[in-house]
């Protein structure tokens, strides 16, 4: 049951998307399509359907394409933009820092702009209170940031560059790169940490690295939302794009990821 929905969301969509070339030669990665639907439009549609009133999109590479495609409103939801002029030499933490004004306004959802997902996944995150990270089981071929969880589902660590092989040695869960943060955590913990990173000149730092430091220091307590029953996929390269097209063989269908995996195995 969803008790409350943050009024705002931030989507990080500034990067070059160089690993997804040639698809990103003429468009930013968030506008690459899965079954005819741009990744970014899928996210905005789900946010609007969930009840979010305003989304800030951090843009950089081919920013005007995103602004033209999304406009000032999307399915009744207000859209604002934060421009990055250093998108080709900075990490996601810098992009999030550019959205600090939004983060300081209250509870906020945070999404990476390369995740294609079902509304059910967002609803799972929203069904939980406090500060929440969406996670899932590792699958073959999936790599990236991971979360080590405690007995009660709390995030004990974030680790970069993990895979199903390392998760088999020590139980870890793949981060979906969708988060929910409370107003207090954002104003007292996350935004000051982002400012400290920028002041220290760590402009290539990733959001997960900032969160990892905060968890390690005890400044951040983050719960996990296990999303095994919802479809999603993070799209970094062409193989990821093809996999997403298999998982979302019917856009909007309620089929779980397990069905998509079975479909892939039969091909």
Q: Buried b / exposed e across 140-152, counting CB within 10 Å, b at 16+?
A: eebbbbbbbbeee
Residue 209 in any domain: the answer is yes
| pTM for this model (two decimals) | 0.89
In the block, tokens 């996670």 appear at: 135
pLDDT over 70 at 163, yes or no: yes
Q: Structural domain tally of the chain?
A: 1
Instruction: Tell me the average pLDDT across 185-209.
Output: 96
Rounded to an integer, what distance in angstroms lies between the CA atom of residue 142 and that of residue 168? 13
Residue 240 in any domain: the answer is yes
Residue 113 in any domain: the answer is yes
Residue 2 in any domain: the answer is no
Non-local (6+) Cβ contacts of 19 within 8 A are 236, 237
pLDDT at 250: 65
CATH of the domain at 243: 3.90.550.10
Cis peptide before 22 (omega within 30 of 0): yes
Residue 166 in any domain: the answer is yes
Name which residue leads in pLDDT, 224 or 172.
Answer: 224
Rounded to an integer, what distance in angstroms lies between the CA atom of residue 30 and that of residue 198? 25
Residue 256 in any domain: the answer is yes
First CA to last CA distance, the chain: 37
In the block, tokens 């943060």 appear at: 181
DSSP state, residue 29: G
**Using CA atoms in the order 258, 116, 90, 190, what is the torsion angle rounded to 10 degrees?**
-80
Residue 171 in any domain: the answer is yes
Closest to 145 in 3D by CA, of 98, 210, 192: 210
DSSP structure string for 57-87: EEE-TTHHHHHHHH-SEETTEEEEEEE-S-T
Q: What is the CA radius of gyration of the chain?
A: 17
pLDDT at 265: 35
State residue 261 phi and psi, 5-degree precision. Answer: -65, -45
Name which residue leads in pLDDT, 260 or 162.
Answer: 162
Domain of residue 24, residue span: 8-266
pLDDT in tens, 253-267: 444 444 333 333 332
Closest to 103 in 3D by CA, of 213, 192, 178: 192
pLDDT at 267: 29
Residue 1 in any domain: the answer is no
DSSP state, residue 149: E
């Amino acid at each position: 049951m969803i008790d409350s929905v943050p009024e705002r969301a931030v989507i990080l969509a500034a990067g070059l998307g160089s690993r997804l070339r040639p698809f990103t030669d003429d468009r930013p990665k968030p506008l690459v399509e899965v079954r005819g639907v741009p990744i970014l439009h899928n996210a905005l549609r789900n946010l609007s359907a969930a009840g979010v009133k305003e989304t800030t999109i951090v843009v950089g590479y081919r920013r005007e394409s995103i602004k033209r495609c999304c406009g000032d409103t999307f399915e009744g939801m207000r859209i604002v933009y934060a421009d990055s002029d250093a998108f080709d030499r900075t990490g996601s933490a810098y992009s999030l820092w550019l959205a600090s004004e939004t983060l300081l306004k209250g509870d906020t959802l945070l999404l990476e702009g390369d995740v294609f997902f079902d509304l059910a996944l967002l609803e799972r995150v929203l069904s939980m209170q406090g500060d929440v990270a969406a996670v899932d089981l590792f699958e073959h071929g999936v790599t990236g940031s991971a979360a080590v969880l405690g007995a009660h589902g709390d995030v004990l660590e974030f680790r970069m560059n993990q895979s199903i092989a390392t998760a088999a040695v020590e139980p870890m869960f793949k981060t979906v790169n969708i988060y929910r943060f409370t107003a207090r955590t954002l104003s007292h913990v996350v935004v000051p940490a982002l400012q400290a990173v920028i002041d220290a000149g760590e402009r290539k730092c990733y959001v997960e690295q900032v969160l990892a430091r905060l968890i390690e220091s005890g400044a951040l307590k983050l719960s996990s939302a296990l999303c095994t029953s919802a479809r999603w996929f993070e799209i970094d390269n062409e193989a990821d794009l093809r996999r997403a097209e298999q998982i979302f063989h019917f856009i909007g269908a309620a089929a779980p990821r397990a069905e998509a995996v079975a479909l892939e195995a039969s091909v």
